[in-house]
Every structure is written in structure tokens, then in C-alpha cells.
Amino acid sequence: MKRRIARPPAPKSLSPRELIVRDIIRGLYEGRYVPGQRLVESDLTACYRVSRGPVREALNGLAARGIVSLTPQRGAQVRRLSREEGIDILIVLESLIGLAAGLAALRARSSESAGKLRDALARLDTFDPSCSSPEYAHARDTFYGALMEIAGNAELRRIMPGTLVHLVRVQYRDTLRAADSTRHADYRAIAKAVLAGDAEEAESAARTHIAGMIAGLAYHPGDAWGRTLRRLGTALGTRRSRNPPSSRRTRR
């Protein structure tokens, strides 16, 4: 059955293209858009009350970020990730988030953005860790945004939005619920290490958090490959937390 697209309220500060991109990502969390769903141009133009130009720009932008697939036969559709693709995304994310946390710790004491990280953490703590609402997703993005701002690395900020973590969280939200119990403790550990200027501990805490997601996604009963990768992810997270590489630097 064809899904009905509900038109969202339009913030005046957003261009039509930005509105469509933002709302489709939000719609993934709300269930208005689902992996594999076709995005028909005529439906989107009617929904957002815009011409085909902004719709095509938005779809091309989402395709560039890997959230939408564009094919000559089927047009645009929300990308459906295999479990292996999801794990690959998280493996890349583990390195990027770990790097961001380590860099942020080196700059936290001299950064005017440290208060934003504290505020973002306080905002996260107002949610239940099992929450899957768009508001919680935004609070989580704000936390990582503050981390990136403190890190102060322009290339890292450029690369990070392309990691497709939104698709992973939405498509595998039930599978990843096992990590809910430690999620907020992980955020607190990351923020504590960053604000203390401890680069090794900050990177370790960030990597361990993502390693837990990898382990959860890799686990499927009766799947030997998944069990092996799950054990590997757990072992890597434990090893990093106990024995961080000597090449990592702490702030002096």
C-alpha cells in the first residue's frame, strides 16, 4: 500500500530544498518514510507545495549523502542497508567519533564551546535512553555537533554527515536496543573525558560506545559470522578502554 506523505510545517529560515531534506530525515525517525520506500516526485511536490526543481535538488542531495538511491528504472527510493553495510558504516563511524573526541579533549579547556557540550549532555539526560523520537535524535546530533565544534577540524566536520548513521539507527533500531542501557553512561563518559582534557580516555570512551553498537548489530542467533564479529567488536572495545595505543596524546 502506498504511504501517505504528511506535509510538515515549514520553518521560514529554510530553503525549500533544505526543508525537504530535513523533513525526510525526520520522517525516517517518525516512520513516515521507511527504508525501501519510493519517493515519487509528484507526491513530494504536492506534499511540500514546491516545484520539481527543489524536489530534485533535495533528492540529489540525499543521494549524495547515501540516504536515497536514484535509479533509472525505479527513480528515487530510501536506501535499504544490509546488515553488513550497516556494520561497515559503524566501523568507519567508530574511528571518526573516536578521533573527534580525542581532538576535542586536546582543545576543550581553551574552547568557548565546552559549555555547549555540557548543555547537550544535560539535554540528552532528559530523555529515556530507549527513546527513538526525532527530538531525541536531534539532541544526540547536538551532542556530537558540540563535540565536533570543540575538535575544530574542518575536514572531520565535512566527512561526518556522510556516515549514514541515521539510516542505521532507523533501520536497525530494534536490533540496537540492547545498547540502550549503557547509552547515557557512554555519553557521560565521553563528555567527562573531553572536558577533563584526557584525549586517550575520550577517544577510548567514544570508540567503546560505537563498538557496542557494532556488536549488537552483528549478533544474530545461529549466525557464526555475526557471533565472531560481535566478539571481535567487544574485544576491541575492551582493549581500547584498557590499553589505549601509546601514539594517542593527552593534553598537557
pLDDT per residue as tens digits for the range 7-46: 555 555 779 999 999 999 889 888 899 999 999 999 999 9
Is this model's pTM higher than 0.85 or not? Answer: no
Of the candidate ranges 53-67, 96-110, 121-135, 211-225, the one whose mean pLDDT is the lowest: 211-225
Q: What are 153-171's pLDDT values in tens digits?
A: 999 988 886 668 888 988 8
- Percent of the chain at pLDDT above 70? 81
**Helix/strand/coil for 14:** coil
- What is the CATH topology of the domain spanning 83-242? Four Helix Bundle (Hemerythrin (Met), subunit A) (1.20.120)
- Domain positions in the chain: 16-78, 83-242
Helix (H) or strand (E) holding 218: helix 199-218
Q: Are 212 and 189 in contact (CB under 8 A)?
A: no
pLDDT category at 221 given cuts 50, 70, 90 is low
> Nearest CA to 212 among 181, 190, 246, 242?
181
CATH number of 16-78: 1.10.10.10
Report how far residue 181's alpha carbon sits from residue 184's, in angstroms, rounded to the nearest whole number: 8
> Nearest CA to 217 among 112, 84, 116, 80?
84
Report how far residue 165's alpha carbon sits from residue 86's, in angstroms, rounded to the nearest whole number: 8
Average pLDDT score over residue span 88-106: 95
